[in-house]
Amino acid sequence: MVAHALAEAVTYPAVGASLDVERISHAFDIDGSVLPVLDDVNFSVKPGEFFALLGPSGCGKSTLLRLVAGLEAPRSGVLREDGDPVTGPFPSRVVVFQDPTLFPWRTVWNNVALGLEAQGILKSQRQRVDAALDLVGLSQFRNAYPHQLSGGMAQRVALARALVNDPKILILDEPLGKLDSLTRITMQAEIVALWQRKGFTTLLVTHDVEEALFLANRVIVFGDRPARIKADIAVDRPYPRHRGDPRLAELRRSILGLLGLDATW
């Protein structure tokens, strides 16, 4: 079972793109003063990898995601998707934000269809919307409006809205941060399953050590702002993982130590 799951993750390497982050620095201008947020960040993500960025809140990891998504341009440095520089947003790199940010005036189905509609290919590809809704188990809610959904359902719709584009890199910006803990546990397993099935590269930002270790192949730990990489940890455990795994507990302790939070552990 474990071996099978691993094999499955490895059979789709062509779907995911590689991501190279080369000497990225970024800063914000706030009231005339310059606030550095990222300082010479370097790493590269292999195709199909599940990659987690972990760090204290406000350390600049979400900013890094916006750069990867192409929503902002870095002050210096280059980002490469499969070797090509990132110059702007593109549906091969789709973000799931902490808030589902569904469009309240669109039904669930129309929200999921957003990407295909924006790219002008919805008419010929409607079945992809149905398939994406199936994937997150919300086909029955296709005609519901966002205000009728629970938080977990809304976030699943946001996930479907991203997946319908068949992204090469799925960018998850603390997507489970606002959900209750039970829904969070369920959706963590769902995300792993989706990733294994689809084989896209996943970039997850989180400040939840356990979540990063439960989901990711590799975890990068950021220090305080301006963000610099403190550690690059390979999580060498097969899927599906168990939360009680002693190896994960060991990694968790060392990561908390890096963040200066190991006193209570």
Partner 1 sequence: MSTYSASKTVALAQSAEEGAALSGRPLSLAFSFPPGGTGVFASLAWVGFGISCLWWPDIGDWTRTHQLAAAAFVMSGAIFLATVAGSRLGRFNAGLQRRAPWLLVSALFLTLWEVATAKFGWLPLPFFPPPQSIIEVYTDDLPKLLDSIIASVKLQLGGYVIGATVGFLTGVSIGWSRSVGYWVHPVLRFIGPLPATAWLPIAFFTFPSSWSASTFLIALATGFPVTVLTWSGVASVSNAYYDVARTLGAKPSFLVLKVAIPAALPHVFVGLFMGLGSSFAVLVVAEMIGVKAGLGWYLQWAQGWAAYANMYAALIVMSLLCSGAITLLFRTRDRLLIWQKGVVKW
Asked whether position 136 contacts partner 1 by CB under 8 A, the answer is no
Asked whether position 165 contacts partner 1 by CB under 8 A, the answer is yes
Q: How far is the CB of 66 from partner 1 (least distance, A)?
A: 8
- Residue 22, phi-psi category: left (phi > 0), alpha (psi -120 to 50), beta (remainder): beta
Selected binder of partner 1 within 20, 22, 46, 101 (CB under 8 A): 101
Tokens of 185: 């546990």
Selected binder of partner 1 within 89, 151, 229, 253 (CB under 8 A): 89
Residues 6 or more apart whose Cβ sits within 8 Å of residue 26? 36, 37, 38, 60, 63, 64, 67, 72, 74, 75
Q: How far is the CB of 130 from partner 1 (least distance, A)?
A: 18
Asked whether position 28 contacts partner 1 by CB under 8 A, the answer is no
Selected binder of partner 1 within 75, 80, 106, 142 (CB under 8 A): 106
Asked whether position 90 contacts partner 1 by CB under 8 A, the answer is yes
Cβ–Cβ under 8 Å, residues 235 and 216 = yes
Helix H, strand E, coil C: the string for 141-203 is HCCCCHHHCCHHHHHHHHHHHHHCCCCCEEEEECCCCCCCHHHHHHHHHHHHHHHHHHCCEEE
Backbone angles phi, psi at 206, to 5 degrees: -155, 160
Residues forming a β-bridge with 169: 93, 201
Q: How many of the other CB atoms lie within 10 Å of CB of 232?
A: 11
Distance CA(219)–CA(204), nearest Å, equals 9
Asked whether position 91 contacts partner 1 by CB under 8 A, the answer is yes
Asked whether position 82 contacts partner 1 by CB under 8 A, the answer is no
Asked whether position 186 contacts partner 1 by CB under 8 A, the answer is no
Asked whether position 128 contacts partner 1 by CB under 8 A, the answer is no
The site map against partner 1 for 33-72 (x = CB under 8 A) is ---------------------------------x--xxx-
Selected binder of partner 1 within 20, 117, 166, 245 (CB under 8 A): 117
Asked whether position 105 contacts partner 1 by CB under 8 A, the answer is yes
Binding stretches for partner 1 (CB under 8 A): 66, 69-71, 89-91, 93-95, 97, 99, 101, 103-106, 114-115, 117-119, 145-147, 161, 165
